[in-house]
């Protein structure tokens, strides 16, 4: 099966690439060149042309893209960083799904990343009873809501 790994040069994608290469024909879409030897399309998940090139001829995709900026989205980030995070994480996912459906690709996986936990705990191991912080994408909606723009 030919698989597109979106975000394959990131932390989680880099760890996943060797397994996928052993079992599938693999292509990576990322803004950074992967460390492993693999078919590579340079580009962003938020770029429709790069997505179309990367998805051409694949049977399925795995999305491991997550832009978290400075360890998660928080009030220390600039408006430009917030917009960039939203563009990659939300609009990029929408474009990936739209382009895949338009090209007839019916198999895909959207994964979470370590960014979903927002910030590292000050103690380890974490206990199950302690709630995790909200995912970065959810924080994007809070950060750009009218109540927080004043």
Residue 35: other Cβ atoms inside 10 A: 11
pLDDT of 116 strictly over 70: no
Mean pLDDT of 47-75: 83
Whether 28 and 8 have beta carbons less than 8 Å apart is answered as yes
CA dist 59 and 82 (Å) reads: 33
Number of residues that make up the chain:
150
pLDDT of 144 strictly over 60: no
> Looking up tokens 């206990």, which residue turns up?
127
Task: Evaluate if pTM is beyond 0.85.
Answer: no
pLDDT of 148 strictly over 90: no
pLDDT of 24 strictly over 80: yes
pLDDT for 136: 44
Contacts of 81 (CB under 8 A, 6+ apart): 69, 70, 73
Q: Which of 50-54, 81-85, 88-92, 125-129 has the highest mean pLDDT?
A: 50-54
Whether 89 and 136 have beta carbons less than 8 Å apart is answered as yes
Q: How confident is the model at residue 122 (pLDDT cuts 50, 70, 90)?
A: low
User: 95-107: per-residue pLDDT in tens?
Assistant: 999 999 999 999 9
CATH numeric code, 2-114+129-148: 3.40.50.720
């Amino acid at each position: 099966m030919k698989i597109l790994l979106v975000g394959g040069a990131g932390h989680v994608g880099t760890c996943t690439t060797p397994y996928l290469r052993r079992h599938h024909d693999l292509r990576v879409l990322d803004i950074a060149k992967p460390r492993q030897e693999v078919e590579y399309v340079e580009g962003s998940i938020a770029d429709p042309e790069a997505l179309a090139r990367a998805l051409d001829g694949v049977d399925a995709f795995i999305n491991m893209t997550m832009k978290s900026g400075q360890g998660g989205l928080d009030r220390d980030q600039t408006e430009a960083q917030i917009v960039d995070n939203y563009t990659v994480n939300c609009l990029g996912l929408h474009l990936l799904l739209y382009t895949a459906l338009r090209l007839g690709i019916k198999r895909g996986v959207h994964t979470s990343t370590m960014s979903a936990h927002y910030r590292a705990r000050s103690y380890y191991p974490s206990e199950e009873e302690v709630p995790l912080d909200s995912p970065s994408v959810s924080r994007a909606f809070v950060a750009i809501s009218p109540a927080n723009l004043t």
